[in-house]
Amino acid sequence: MPETLTITLQLGEPVEHRGIAVAPLFPLSDPVCPYLTMEDALPLGFRVTERDAAGSVPELLVANPTGHRVLLYDGEELAGAKQDRILNVSVLVAERSETVVPVSCVEAGRWSARGEAFDPAPHTGHPALRRSKAEALAERPLEPYAAQSASWAAVRAKEERVGRHSPTSAHADLFRARAASLSELEAAFPLQPGQCGAALAFGGRAVCLDALSRPGAFARLYPRLLRGYLMDGLDEADGARSGADALPGFLAALEAAPATRGPSPGLGRDVRLAGAGLIGSALEVDGETVQVCAFAGEAPGAGDPGRIARPSRRGMRPR
């Protein structure tokens, strides 16, 4: 049998609003690997910059002078410097180290300095963008430019959907254009105590899932993930059926998805996931799944994870 990923998550009751469903995920085991989020590390001197003065579109330099490991999350958007980028993979940056991380541009029309360092954008990539990126990186997750065409295409497609064409084709401008609508929706999906992940559904189907090993770290990331979710959810808001009933099956498909392990730019191992109607990635450190994200989409032997019967309080336990 193919190897799978060790996942210890429990699906909570989904919150449904205007045809969008967001279900919390809760941990079934205590976290082991320590780390900070980028937001928590920046005040301590952590920095993300262009690789050098000339800059390199598919790579950024991370300097971590702190005594803490820092987790950069797959799909986080970094704003500033010569152009906005999105992280291709999750990277656990070691203490007192410098690391080059792979990224894709999400602002095609700018290559001019806007400050020296990057800040985390108030949103992650929207799920359609992140899914396209995952598909492009399935067999070559660390290859420069591997996801660039797919990322630009996803931003252009969203521009057409929103009816907003940014002067620099900036992904962030799409969120600014929809700021009022996003703010109205965000309050409907609050973070739950102890929550370490979330699963999204709309349009009668499961869409994606994100989780971290540490609830405190997820609490820092969740507002940005939620804005990304709702950017896509707005396109199908007020649908007749959210698809919340597909989330248990999606979780089960993730549990069964074959996992391929490879090197990571930082600590641990990068994991690629491709199962029945599901594609995703994870970061594994000493056997612990520190981060996982998955998207409904085509994969070899794809089926419909939403058709898997709803289990009774299915737990995703280590094997």
Percent of the chain at pLDDT > 70 equals 93
Q: Return d(Cα 84, Cα 57) in angstroms, integer.
A: 10
Residue 274 structure tokens: 């491709």
CA-to-CA distance for 252 and 10, rounded, in angstroms? Answer: 11
pLDDT of residue 2: 74
∠ at Cα 85 (81, 86), nearest 5°?
150
What DSSP string describes 243-308? -GGGHHHHHHHHHH--EEEEE-SSBSEEEEEEETTEEEEEEEETTEEEEEEEEE---TT---GGGS
| pLDDT tens by residue, 163-213 | 988 899 999 999 999 999 999 999 999 999 999 999 999 999 999 999 999
For the cut 80, the answer to whether the pLDDT of residue 310 exceeds it is: no
- Across the strands, what pairs with 80? 118
pLDDT tens-digit map of 282-299: 999 999 999 999 999 854
The angle that helices 127-137 and 148-162 make with each other, rounded to 10 degrees, is 160
Retrieve residue 26's tokens: 């809760």
Give this prediction's pTM.
0.92
Tens-digit pLDDT profile for residues 255-278: 999 999 999 999 999 999 999 899
Mean pLDDT, rounded, for 61-83: 98
Q: What is the pLDDT of residue 1?
A: 61
The total number of residues shown for the chain amounts to 319
**Per-position DSSP letters for 73-95, written without gaps between them:** PTTEEEEEETS-EEESS-EEEPT
